[in-house]
Amino acid sequence: MWRRSASFILDKHQNNKPISLTPSIGSPPPLSASVADENLNPNHISAYYQTRAAHHEIVTSDWLEQAQAAVRRYLDQDSPVSGRPFSVIEEFDNWRQQPALAEAVAAIRALAAVIRASEANTMMELEIELKKASDTLKAWDTTSISLTAGCDLFMRYVTRTSALESEDFNSAKSRVLGRAEKFGEISNKIIATLSQDFIFDGCTILVHGFSRVVFEILKTAAQNKKLFRVLCTEGRPDKTGVLLAKELAKLDVPVKLLIDSAVAYCMDEVDMVFVGADGVVESGGVINMMGTYQIAIVAHSMNKPVYVAAESYKFARLYPLDQKDLEPALQPIDFGVSVPPKVEVERSARDYTPQFLTLLFTDLGVLTPSVVSDELIQLYL
Amino acid sequence: MDPRRGPLAVPKVRRVGFFTSIEPSPETPRPNRSLSGPAEAITSSSPLSDSPSGQFISPVQIPPSRHHSDNLASRAAPVPVPGPSAFRRQLANDRTLHVGSYNPVDSLLGTSPPSSNGEVSEDSGSLFGFQRSDSAKLSASFPNGGFNMTVAVRAPRESEAKVAIASTSDGRKKNVEASGESESVATKPRKEKETKSLKEKTSKAERRAIQEAQRAAKAAAKGEGSKRAGESSRPKPSKPAKQPQPKKEAPQVTSSLSEKRAVSVEKERRMDVPQTQMQYDDKSRVDKAKRRSVVEQTESKNKVELFLHLPQYERGNQLPNLSSNIFTLDTIHHAVYKVGLQHLAGDIAGDNARCIAMLHAFQEAINDYTTPPMKDLTMDLTAKINGYVSFLIECRPLSMSMGNAIRFLKNQIRKLPVDLSEPEAKASLCSEIGRFIDEKILLADKVIVQHAVTKIRDGEVLLTYGFSCVVEMILLYAHEIGRKFRVVIVDSRPNLEGQKLLRRLVTRGLDCTYTHINAVSYIMGEVTRVFLGASSIFSNGTLYSQVGTACVAMVANAFSVPVIVCCEAYKFHERVLLDSICSNELGDPDAIANVPLRNNKKHSKTMDNNKNLQFLNLMYDSTPAEYISMIVTDYGMIPPTSIPVIVREYRREDLLL
């Protein structure tokens, strides 16, 4: 849509020269090379999607290795600059390697580690230190919404706690630490329990991608002896849908795999759609794995409800106006065949679903999309 | 599902508008509704639209059905369904239900904060000029009948506290709400007298008497709206007593009520919002207001029928009148007088400017104020301010934001500690006003600019309509920080405010395109963002802004261009607005009659005397929430559904309570 303006073409022309990000990158090899070269700017690949790919053991090419090397080099450069013996990012990276841990939780744990390691004597100092740490974390991967949101939420909490000046520093510190622990415990269990009422016997659920919360919901439903069927999309390019199908099959839930383009074909037998979220934004829309928006549109046109499962630390004070209004999180895409030169590849890993969502299952309760903004205002203001 | 930006093929609220009485029954109400079929006939409104007598209503019924049928159609979640018996009774009664069918709307809106009721009713009243009388009679003649089960139908769905109330009383209450609203125009004076006499009976302190006198003087100008707001905001047992079953309950209830609540009602009334509009088709009130008015106004001859409830005066003779009076009048402070004149002459335009000018004038007036002997500063100053406000209203109807500012000021006066000495009180008031201007307007604008600029990327084409100072600031700032973008300024007759913006932007070196609103659908194709200013935003997300804004927003929506509204939070209003009719301002009709550049002198002469010709120069219009993608305000970027959250969370401390 933004291409419509004539001036855009001009700007694009100018932009292309210095940055060389969007120009016709053909196949993955030249791409990875360019990324490795420009290792100063690791934002070209979303770190989140790297780890995710590593967790799911699907990435085949050596691309990932190179990219990670790039990131590591970046970190090596960064840490002497910050000049502190303790690095948040290392801590964060450690936590992040655990597949069961959401990124925001990893971030908060890392921040908690900062508190533990800090030698601050006053709340003010601690706050400043935390602020620095969270800024580094946020700057480390600007594309990750839940990382940013998690950091912001935690900072918010710390500043609010310190507003209660009456208590002494140590108890405040331990309280903040306790809070950090709690964040990690924001369990999918609550969400899973809340959502059980919506899964009825004999229903067919379409799931897109692999989301921990959605999996938890389905697992709980299966444990509750509900009879339901799940249709899993394949979830290209990292094939997370296949993973989910595998996990569900282990639980003896009837599963069917579809290719991503078969969603509309199968929609008539679907009773509800479940998706996770990378981030929930202020408009009540969600940012999630590529393909969510089109599933929501198809579901809406066939009057099927779309349910989003997300923890409250994914709520972000963002308000994208359209798809391109976000910093794109890029991911490697393996087309199986070599992409002819001069062909551009859309490598964005996620899209923004601004509407057509029915309800959000969160640990704050089952919310309509318009309540998200309400909650956000209360959380942040 | 997502009411904000749902399918937009159906401009629900707009249909309520202007044309209803002219084109009797529009084509088909809505595709959605026809889809809903018999299964969904349970929604209290749809059977009516099918019934023969409902044919006039159908366009207007759209708002309630939006809630219900949307839910039914799009959600798997179970919706409680009323028993079949209720449904049947309703069908049987549907002839009598004209007005009752509004109950869902009324009560939906009634649950929103105070004064929304009055507004909605005005709306239905004026729309059904031709139906009003007999339907009111009908409904009055069925004390419980038809209305009872509309409530029953609604109640489970809404699951309000109201359900607890016995259904008879509830039904009666509905009945009154429905019939009372349409009757109210006629019965208002009578009611008024009743309450007044009652009060006089029960009042003891002479303070009350003084207040009564003051109120009688001021009330007319502030209008029945505020009064009604005062009434409707309390639980309503007093109302039913007045109308359908007067024999049994009326005397006791009203008298006990007046004893119990007299004081609190009085208090509330005093601090209530000065309504921006009184109903100018209410003869007695207009007469009353005229007797006290400072500004001499002659009513225009060719009044626009649909807008009789708005002031329609001849232009051009007030200003000389007033300016000659400036030395003889001592009731109005000269600073306020000056601002009034400026408003009248149009020297100050733009909501923020008007509001700031007014507040500065009040500051000055408070500075010069001395409490008369034997009087209380709080009360006397409030009365003074009320006087000023009604003077300003005579000059030009207040904007919503000014109403909010006045409410803030009065609240500050009310909250003054009793033990404060007069100079201290004055100083604190002045500083509070200054703080309001700084924080709520100037600082808010800066925050808005910071937020909005993040939505301007390089290479974008921004469209703006008319002149809004916040939008101007945003554009200039974005240019300053080096964003490369183009601006399309859409303008409209007769004010051509966009030219002012154009001039300012061009001198700062921005790349601008200037066009009139006629070409908006052409130019929209290349636009990537629409930035709009606002006069006010209501609780249901309706944007109330310069006339033409709705058109621009709708065209933008059709082109799926995001519409960004920039509005300071002090302009948010807790009322609900459904159309542009019940709350609006009429500009100078000559402004649209006379086209410059064309020598149409004799032309306009024949036009002046033509009885069949009415000029309608509307100043504002309302844009439904679903055409707005985002509202940028001092609390960040929020969707239009979050207006009530802001009003609820952040205005409490400044305003009421």
pLDDT tens track for B552-589: 999 999 999 999 999 998 889 888 988 888 888 888 87
Instruction: Name the more confident of B631 and B278.
Output: B631
HSE value, Cβ hemisphere, 13 Å, CA-based, for B541: 21
Which residues in A lie closer than 8 A to residue B461 (C-beta atoms)?
4-5, 7
CB atoms inside a 10 Å sphere around CB B77: 13
Nearest to A114 by CA among A73, A165, A50, A158: A158
Which residues in B lie closer than 8 A to residue A361 (C-beta atoms)?
none
Distance between CA B629 and CA B502 in Å, rounded? 25
Is B367's pLDDT higher than 70?
yes
In this prediction, residue B320 has a pLDDT band, given cuts at 50, 70 and 90, of low
ipTM rounded to 2 decimals: 0.73
Is B113's pLDDT higher than 50?
no
Which residues in B lie closer than 8 A to residue A2 (C-beta atoms)?
457, 459-460, 528
- Condensed to tens digits (0 to 9), the pLDDT of residues B503-531 reads 999 999 999 999 999 999 999 999 999 99
Q: Which residues pair with B489 in a beta bridge?
A: B464, B514
Q: Does the beta-carbon distance from B650 to A381 stay under 8 Å?
A: yes
Tell me what pLDDT residue B448 has: 92
Structure tokens at A266: 């199968």
Tell me what pLDDT residue B185 has: 42
**Strand, coil or helix: A65:** helix
A155 Cα to chain B: minimum distance (Å): 18
- Once rounded to an integer, what is the mean pLDDT over residues B379-391? 85
Tell me what pLDDT residue B609 has: 66
Is A28's pLDDT higher than 80?
no
In this prediction, residue A342 has a pLDDT band, given cuts at 50, 70 and 90, of confident
Binning chain B into helix, strand and coil, the percentages to the nearest 5 are 60, 10, 30
Least confident of B71-80, B302-311, B333-342: B71-80
Is B262's pLDDT higher than 70?
no
Mean pLDDT of chain B: 66
Chain B positions contacting chain A at CB under 8 Å are 1-6, 73-77, 455, 457-461, 484-486, 525-529, 560-562, 564, 629-630, 635-639, 641-642, 645-646, 649-650
Q: Tell me the range of A88-92, B287-291, B344-348 where mean pLDDT is highest.
A: B344-348
Instruction: Name the more confident of A115 and B106.
Output: A115
Nearest CB partner across the interface for B76, out of A8, A272, A325? A272
Tell me what pLDDT residue A125 has: 76
- Once rounded to an integer, what is the mean pLDDT over residues A174-193? 77
Is B118's pLDDT higher than 80?
no
State percent of chain A over pLDDT 70: 71
Q: Does the beta-carbon distance from A284 to B2 stay under 8 Å?
A: yes
Give the chain B residue nearest A371 (alpha carbons). Answer: B642
- Is the entire prediction scored with pTM above 0.90? no
Nearest to B181 by CA among B99, B98, B283: B99
Q: Compute the Cα dihedral for B503, B505, B508, B512 and give only its sign.
A: negative
Instruction: Name the more confident of A186 and B571.
Output: B571
- CB-based contacts of B406, cutoff 8 Å, min separation 6: B273, B274, B358, B385, B389, B398
Is A135's pLDDT higher than 90?
no
Give the chain A residue nearest B457 (alpha carbons). Answer: A325
Which residues in A lie closer than 8 A to residue B73 (C-beta atoms)?
303
Which residues in B lie closer than 8 A to residue A379 (C-beta atoms)?
none
Q: Does the beta-carbon distance from B562 to A321 stay under 8 Å?
A: yes
Structure tokens at B146: 């038809």
Distance between CA A223 and CA B625 in Å, rounded? 43
Tell me what pLDDT residue B522 has: 92
Is B8's pLDDT higher than 50?
no
Query: Virtual CA dihedral for A298, A300, A305, A307, nearest 10 degrees?
Result: 70
Q: Does the beta-carbon distance from A373 to B73 stay under 8 Å?
A: no
- Once rounded to an integer, what is the mean pLDDT over residues B389-396? 84
Look-up of token digits 């006087």: B387
Is B350's pLDDT higher than 90?
no
Tell me what pLDDT residue A7 has: 37
B192 Cα to chain A: minimum distance (Å): 41
In this prediction, residue B112 has a pLDDT band, given cuts at 50, 70 and 90, of very low
B630-633, strands of its sheet edge to edge: B511-516, B485-491, B460-465, B529-533, B563-566, B630-633, B636-638
Q: Compute the Cα dihedral for B313, B314, B315, B316 and give only its sign.
A: negative
CB atoms inside a 10 Å sphere around CB A132: 14
Q: Tell me the range of A57-66, A277-286, A332-341 where mean pLDDT is highest.
A: A277-286
Which residues in A lie closer than 8 A to residue B4 (C-beta atoms)?
283, 355, 370
- Once rounded to an integer, what is the mean pLDDT over residues B531-539? 91
- Once rounded to an integer, what is the mean pLDDT over residues A266-274? 92
Tell me what pLDDT residue B343 has: 83
Nearest to B244 by CA among B96, B139, B389, B396: B139
| Residue from B511, B531, B641 to probe the interface with A (highest A Cβ count within 10 Å) | B641
Q: Does the beta-carbon distance from B1 to A358 stay under 8 Å?
A: yes
- Once rounded to an integer, what is the mean pLDDT over residues B200-213? 56
B34 Cα to chain A: minimum distance (Å): 16
Cis status, amide bond into B639, omega within 30 of 0: no
CB atoms inside a 10 Å sphere around CB B516: 15
Instruction: Name the more confident of B589 and B187.
Output: B589
DSSP letter at A280 equals E
Q: Does the beta-carbon distance from A11 to B642 stay under 8 Å?
A: no
Q: Tell me the range of A52-66, B59-73, B143-157, B322-336 where mean pLDDT is highest.
A: B322-336
B442 Cα to chain A: minimum distance (Å): 20
State percent of chain B over pLDDT 90: 16
| Residue from B450, B528, B633 to probe the interface with A (highest A Cβ count within 10 Å) | B528
Tell me what pLDDT residue A83 has: 45
Tell me what pLDDT residue B265 has: 46
Helical spans, DSSP H, in A251-306? 263-266, 292-301
Distance between CA A45 and CA A331 in Å, rounded? 6
Tell me what pLDDT residue B582 has: 83
Distance between CA B497 and CA A59 in Å, rounded? 59
Residue type, B197: S
Query: Measured between alpha carbons, how far apart are the two ends of chain B, in Å?
Result: 34
What is the DSSP track for B584-628? --B--HHHHHPPTTS--HHHHHHHHT-TT-----B-EEEE-GGG-
Is A146's pLDDT higher than 60?
yes
